[in-house]
Amino acid sequence: MTSSEASTGRLARPGRNIGDLKLAMVMIAPALVGFLVFLLWPTLRGIWLSFTDFNLLTEPTFVGLNNYIRMFGDPVFWNAAWVTIQYVVINIGVQTVMALLIAVLMQRLTRSTFVRSIVLTPYLVSNVVAALIFMWILDTQLGVGNQILGWMGIDAIPFLSQESTVIPTIALINVWRHMGYTALLIFAGLQTIPETVYEAGRVDGASEWSMFWRITMPLLRPILALVLIMTVIGSFQVFDTVAVTTAGGPVNSSRVLQLYIYDMAFGRFQFGYASALSVALLIILLIITVIQYRMTRAGETDLN
């Protein structure tokens, strides 16, 4: 041990090492302080608050597991969890397939920067603006969307005001907005696949279709896994689109978890219970991320 370390000369210049350490600490300090103040501390405090009764204006009082017991018996919470999962499945399912399709088309057909920019444009629109515009487009009385349906002889569909269509509609609005961005992430992943592999495929007479399934998909897996983990987490946190278009209605059909948490905290001042709901969301996300990570082996690559 000592001989090998001595031979690399690491122990020979201890002074320089410590000097680096100081500089490193200074460089890391802002990020570390930021992490402690804005991430770690709020998280720990949030978990602590979930065991209390707290309305923000008076001191929190410890109530043990009461908030969690209430949560397990709260039908609105279970409904919110179910609605959120429906949203995530539709949103991520459609979005990933569409994004993959666009990315592969960009990779295999055209590499024009112009096309790439166009694909990204919906992402430049803020969530709230996108939601507002779609709300007007889909309005049954004034919306151009329903007018177009009318020209095709289809009766107006109250997309955002009937229970059966509200979650798919909101999910698809967000697909529209995030599809291009996700496509670009996947496209970046595609760039890492060496062209030689495709050449080899072509030499062997493989079709585009089989090259997609046998070359692109396996080699893209780590990137796709990462994109999926990121988009699923983002998807679970859906709030603004719902808040703008339906505010959780009709009845509770679009009351997603984040909206319920927000309403509980800032509408009803029950910050303790809202914290417990947030902890539940955190646990759901942790579990899903671990499962995804394991299933997709996101840490490994097949490129070697």
Partner 1 sequence: MSRKLTTIAASLLTATLLASGCSTGDGDGGDGVIDYWLWDSAQQPGYQRCADRFQEENPELKVRITQYGWDDYWSKLTAGFIADQGPDVFTNHLGKYAQFVDLNVLVPLNDLEATSDLDADEFADGLAAIWQGQDGLQYGAPKDWDTIAYFYNTDLTDEAGITAEQLADMEWNPDDGGTFEQIIAHLTVDQNGVRGDEPGFDKDNVALYGLASEGGGGGNFGQTQWGAYVYSMPDWTLLDQNPWGTHFNMDDPGFQKTIEWYFGLAEKGYMPSMSDVSTNSGEYQQVAAGNAVLGMNGSWMTSLHASLPDFNLGIAPTPVGPSGHRASPFNGLADSVSRFSDDPESAAKWVAFMASDECQSLIGEAGVVFPARQSGMDAALAAKEEAGIDVSAFTVHLEEGTTVMQPVTSNGADITALTEPAFDAIYIGSSPASSLTDLNEQVNRLLELTTD
Tell me which amino acid residue 187 is: F
- Which of 223, 238, 119, 249 is closest to 172 using CA atoms? 238
* Binding residue for partner 1, selected from 9, 73, 153, 267, defined by CB under 8 A: 267
Nearer to partner 1, 127 or 246 (CB): 246
The alpha-carbon radius of gyration of the chain (Å, integer) is 25
Q: Does 266 bind partner 1 (CB under 8 A)?
A: yes
| Residue 42 and residue 279 in contact, taking contact as beta carbons nearer than 8 Å | no
Nearer to partner 1, 29 or 148 (CB): 29
* Binding residue for partner 1, selected from 6, 11, 12, 29, defined by CB under 8 A: 29
Give the number of residues written for the chain.
304
- Minimum Å gap between C-beta 255 and partner 1 is 8
- Minimum Å gap between C-beta 148 and partner 1 is 17
Distance CA 256, CA 81 (A): 7
Q: Does 251 bind partner 1 (CB under 8 A)?
A: yes
Nearer to partner 1, 18 or 217 (CB): 18
- Minimum Å gap between C-beta 178 and partner 1 is 23
DSSP 8-class letter at 156: P
- Minimum Å gap between C-beta 279 and partner 1 is 21
* Binding residue for partner 1, selected from 6, 11, 12, 25, defined by CB under 8 A: 25
| Residue 187 and residue 117 in contact, taking contact as beta carbons nearer than 8 Å | no
- Which of 273, 266, 272 is closest to 54 using CA atoms? 272
Distance CA 218, CA 300 (A): 11
- Minimum Å gap between C-beta 31 and partner 1 is 12
Q: Does 263 bind partner 1 (CB under 8 A)?
A: yes
Burial tier of 161 (Cβ tally within 10 Å: 0-12, 13-18, 19+): middle
Nearer to partner 1, 182 or 254 (CB): 254
The 56-75 contact track toward partner 1, x by CB under 8 A, reads xxx-----------------
CA dihedral defined by 47, 50, 56, 62, rounded to 10 degrees?
A: -110
Q: Is 131 helix (H, G, I), strand (E, B) or coil?
A: helix
Q: Does 16 bind partner 1 (CB under 8 A)?
A: no
Distance CA 268, CA 70 (A): 16
- Minimum Å gap between C-beta 43 and partner 1 is 18
Distance CA 131, CA 252 (A): 19
**Window of 85-93, 159-167, 184-192, 223-231 that interacts with partner 1 by CB under 8 A:** 159-167
- Which positions touch partner 1 (CB under 8 A)? 22-23, 25-26, 29-30, 33, 37, 55-58, 135, 139-142, 158, 160-163, 245-247, 249-252, 255, 263, 266-270
